Amino acid sequence: MSGTRTDRAEALERWADDVDSADLKVADTEVLRSIAELVEQRNEVDEDLTEAIRSARRSEHSWAEIGAMLGVSKQAAQRKYAKVTASDS
């Protein structure tokens, strides 16, 4: 969890410790949990994708090749990923 999500979770736990159970109602949170899980998965995929692009650049693949694999133009690929791969150049 990110620092922000951790802070929110801790605040929620503090609130839960102090809330009167008579004020609570049952809520279906399955869909919200699904969203949180998908965000975690997306973050992992984004990290893996960035690392794959770094590896491709270290292997001297062009931005045109990388863009083709991403389904975008070479300019779009370079614009999005050049900064995160710059330290590898």
> Domain range for residue 49?
3-88
The amino acid occupying position 79 is R
Amino acid identity, position 22 = A
First to last CA, the chain: 31
Q: Give the tens place of pLDDT for each residue, 13-24.
A: 998 888 888 888
Q: What's the chain's average pLDDT?
A: 91
Q: Which residues contact 24 (CB under 8 A, 6 or more apart)?
A: none
pLDDT tens sequence across 22-61: 888 888 899 999 999 999 999 999 999 999 999 999 999 9
**Number of domains within the chain:** 1
Q: Determine contact, residues 66/57, Cβ cutoff 8 Å.
A: yes
Query: CB of 88 within 8 A of CB of 54?
Result: yes
The pLDDT of residue 65? 98
DSSP 39: H
Q: With pLDDT > 90 as the criterion, what percentage of the chain qualifies?
A: 67
Residue 1 has a pLDDT of 47
